[in-house]
Structure 1
């Protein structure tokens, strides 16, 4: 691209609107005259050449120009907001209750929410925030922010860094605040200069011409905002990597020690006891809840898991871990256990879950039961075969931890938790290869053939409570906090300060031209100028925009 040479001799990059040296408006190599020469200057980005508006020929130029558009950035944000709202219509897959009858998302959404749930699942909204297209949308917003910022910040920074006090008259006369004074004395100019310093203006001089400036740092507020937003977007993307974020769910039964998921066997947890407390309507200390308790019945006052956290030490690779306790606490609602960057939350429970059942084999003779043996089934890790001392062999053919009959009348299990266990057992008498089939469950003892010689019955069982714990860490939070803090710095920086500039140029005949510009709060800069011009004959600046509006009306 050919450069543009101004009448002052300065060579400007192609696409420059205001000469970088004298500020004279340029279009090609020509000064803008006629009606255009009377309009107030657009001081946005100081009239510098922006890459997106200058280079448009190559593929890279077109990509840069596309993403540098504020409209494109706004539309990307709107699309992300719409997508995010759609993802909240139904729970995300990660929030499907652990004790749901069917946690398979292909089944769960249709069963729970009907045809809308099926559409929600088929469109992929059940894993929206970790989907590839949502991540790309967030990344595109970040790309737009980076390109928008660079496209505007770099030329603006260069223009403000290389400002000169001496400006062309066409630049000064087309500022919003402008005045001309025919005759001024050096003492008056010196007085104005000193008063400007007292009001914290930085003074730059060139051959008697003055530029007074303050609050330039406020111009960088929007770009500081962009930096904060970019950090927040990066944190959002990193949050979907296991290095920065993990959210798992673990069921721990009373007395059980199990490995915590997502830790590669480094941490274990033992559930000492689960406690469920309710408000007592007869307790005088709970008198304020008495009326409510009478209306709704039992109300839980405390969910609590007393746990021990162990750290596994393996002196030899492959050896059994040696568990060393590192924390022993009570986890309650809204009172998580924190250790080494991890958090455990009380999120669910299951009361009176079966842990084992003991069965007997008996034979009925003359209306009397003859017990032939007994065996116990561990419902958490059931064995497939039991051999009794008297030669009987029992095979566990089918096991339904949470028994129910499906729509076709076929036995099935709603969950994998032993809440309503049922069994199909094959009984082989001593020295026999022919089995008798029995179906047993809570309140069920069925002989399918009604010809069994040997019968089975439940004689004992053990139960325990189960704690449902959410186990997570979030290492992206410091980045979110950093991004938010930087964003707020930018907001404050751009909101409570203004970039004010006052040009004072001497003319050859002893006169003075004064012009001023600010990015906002014109009333404030007018008051500054009015104060520094007190006790001088220099004319107060006129608001040319207000004059134009009055003339139009």
Structure 2
């Protein structure tokens, strides 16, 4: 490592712009003409060396330099935002409705969104936020934040630690705010010091040289922001793990008991009753609003809730064992009032009404005008049997079942696996024959497939029920998000509402040099100096950056 020795005797690391001890510019790094006293010095990190700007020899140096660039970090964030937007074009795999024909994404996206859905699936966007490349992108943003912070925190810490009242004259007269005064008495100088202390500056002196400083902690604001962002990124990665985050959906029909998904068969839920309440249309308070909504084809319900029982399977850890259920709690769940148990939260998210639970049929002779039932049978649509035999010799076989029947180019299909519009292809075997008669039957549909059937099916009765849609969530990442957001806001306040202000008083022969620097709010530090030097012979500082700018504008105008 190349060392740079200053004339004051201090040895500086390679890449140093200003001597850490006295502040004298390192000529080969500053490229400043010694006679040009209006040329301002680079006060970024007080001239301390940054690794990314100093070393570019090995592959590690090049990687470090790449990720320490703010432009690289910004581009990574832009790419991540664009990728995140792609994931919102169509629902992600986890949000495929439970009542869909198939929850297989290869089938679902093409069936519902056509060729665009097929392309969306083939490009892997259906599970974008859990994809390996999206995880790598988020990790790269985190790496960029860490390297950016380290690359700047180390020189900043070194610079702030080396704050000394006594500085080289070149350091003083090349500050942005600068003045030179003569005939300044020692009493006036002490008067300025006392006023600066009243303005809450921390004043230090060394052999007549004075440094007044305040607000140093504000310099750490951006890096506190980075810590908060890194914690938030880590929390977002934690959401990809099933141990810390769960978001699942379950349909439960009235009277049905099912295992709660995502709980490893540990918890079961039973839908005791679903309650749907409507507004009273005769209530003058809501009458006009309800009529307007109904005229637009909408519907508003006052409340929909599910009365549930939660069970715990105490033998869930025993593979293959029959579930041994113990009642955990019995409660109700309705909109915006979730149910919480054992770290899980259960939300009322939707419902299906008038879903068929069973249908009863009769067999009668085709030419019988009275349609007298020869046999009757009932199909449980939630768990249908495929064959029914009767003592009379009749046998019924259910060949096809379409829970939510519709026609697609003349072919019968089902929109979902839930019985909202059931239809059946049923074979009826008369007594003492092996040749079936084919019937197609459903709501409003009763078709003799051959036109030669001697026996016909008819619908006798049916039962319906409600199905309740419940969202289950378990989220242990929220404390990490909260902590990251809190730290981020602390950094914002720290960096926005305070400034690092420094004022140097430098004795020179019979005169006094006054210089000042701040990381922001130059107007504020000028007002502080104005208050401190009032009623003294010390001259008010001038803004050398404005002077230099005016001179360049004048030269350009003359040219």
Q: Compared with structure 1, are the counterparts of its residues 485 and 213 closer, same or farther at alpha carbon in structure 2 (3 Å cutoff)?
A: same
Q: How does 1:207-356 map to 2 (within 5 A)?
A: 207-289=207-289, 292=292, 295-296=295-296, 299-314=299-314, 317=318, 318-332=321-335, 334-356=336-358
Secondary structure of 2:374's counterpart equals strand
Q: Which residues of structure 2 form unaligned runs of 5+?
A: 555-559
- Listed one character per residue, the Cα deviations across residues 402-451 of structure 1 (whole Å, up to 9, x for unaligned) are 222322x3322221011122222333445654444333222333333344
2:502 match:
501
Secondary structure of 2:64's counterpart equals helix
Secondary structure of 2:210's counterpart equals strand
Q: Compared with structure 1, are the counterparts of its residues 342 and 178 closer, same or farther at alpha carbon in structure 2 (3 Å cutoff)?
A: same
Are 1:74 and 2:79 matched, yes or no? no
1:375 match:
377
Q: How does 1:423-442 map to 2 (within 5 A)?
A: 423-430=424-431, 432-442=433-443
Q: Which residues of structure 1 form unaligned runs of 5+?
A: none
Q: Give the superposed CA RMSD.
A: 2.6
1:476 match:
477
Secondary structure of 1:371's counterpart equals coil
Q: For the residues of structure 1 that align with 2:549 and 2:28, how far apart are their CA atoms?
A: 31
1:133 match:
133
Which has the higher mean CA deviation after the structures are superposed, 43-52 or 448-457? Answer: 448-457
How far the C-alpha of 1:104 sits from its partner, in A, is 4.5
Q: How does 1:5-16 map to 2 (within 5 A)?
A: 5-16=5-16
Q: Compared with structure 1, are the counterparts of its residues 171 and 298 closer, same or farther at alpha carbon in structure 2 (3 Å cutoff)?
A: closer
How far the C-alpha of 1:298 sits from its partner, in A, is 6.5
2:62 match:
62
Q: Compared with structure 1, are the counterparts of its residues 364 and 549 closer, same or farther at alpha carbon in structure 2 (3 Å cutoff)?
A: closer
1:461 match:
462
Which has the higher mean CA deviation after the structures are superposed, 83-92 or 60-69? Answer: 83-92
Q: How does 1:388-467 map to 2 (within 5 A)?
A: 388-407=390-409, 409-430=410-431, 432-467=433-468
How far the C-alpha of 1:42 sits from its partner, in A, is 1.4
Which has the higher mean CA deviation after the structures are superposed, 267-276 or 478-487? Answer: 267-276
How far the C-alpha of 1:488 sits from its partner, in A, is 1.2
Q: For the residues of structure 2 that align with 1:31 and 1:276, how far apart are their CA atoms?
A: 79
Q: Compared with structure 1, are the counterparts of its residues 89 and 412 closer, same or farther at alpha carbon in structure 2 (3 Å cutoff)?
A: closer
Are 1:40 and 2:25 matched, yes or no? no
How far the C-alpha of 1:545 sits from its partner, in A, is 1.7
Q: For the residues of structure 2 that align with 1:226 and 1:366, how far apart are their CA atoms?
A: 83
How far the C-alpha of 1:528 sits from its partner, in A, is 1.3
Taking structure 1 as the reference length, what is the TM-score of the superposition? 0.92
How far the C-alpha of 1:69 sits from its partner, in A, is 0.6
- Listed one character per residue, the Cα deviations across residues 282-341 of structure 1 (whole Å, up to 9, x for unaligned) are 223424526525734673223412222413142694243223142402312x33333343
Q: For the residues of structure 1 that align with 2:89 and 2:271, how far apart are their CA atoms?
A: 36
Contact 1:6 1:29 in 2 (8 A): no
Which has the higher mean CA deviation after the structures are superposed, 101-110 or 449-458? Answer: 101-110
Contact 2:52 2:61 in 1 (8 A): yes
Secondary structure of 1:284's counterpart equals coil
- Listed one character per residue, the Cα deviations across residues 462-482 of structure 1 (whole Å, up to 9, x for unaligned) are 111111222223322222222
2:557 match:
none
Contact 1:327 1:339 in 2 (8 A): no
Which has the higher mean CA deviation after the structures are superposed, 349-358 or 43-52? Answer: 349-358
- Listed one character per residue, the Cα deviations across residues 58-112 of structure 1 (whole Å, up to 9, x for unaligned) are 1111100000011111111121222223333333333344444565444544454
Q: For the residues of structure 2 that align with 1:366 and 1:191, how far apart are their CA atoms?
A: 120
Taking structure 2 as the reference length, what is the TM-score of the superposition? 0.91
Contact 2:37 2:173 in 1 (8 A): no
Contact 1:4 1:29 in 2 (8 A): no
User: Any runs of at least 4 consecutive aligned residues in structure 1 with deviations exceeding 6 A, and if so which?
Assistant: none
Contact 2:272 2:309 in 1 (8 A): no
Q: For the residues of structure 2 that align with 1:354 and 1:183, how far apart are their CA atoms?
A: 101
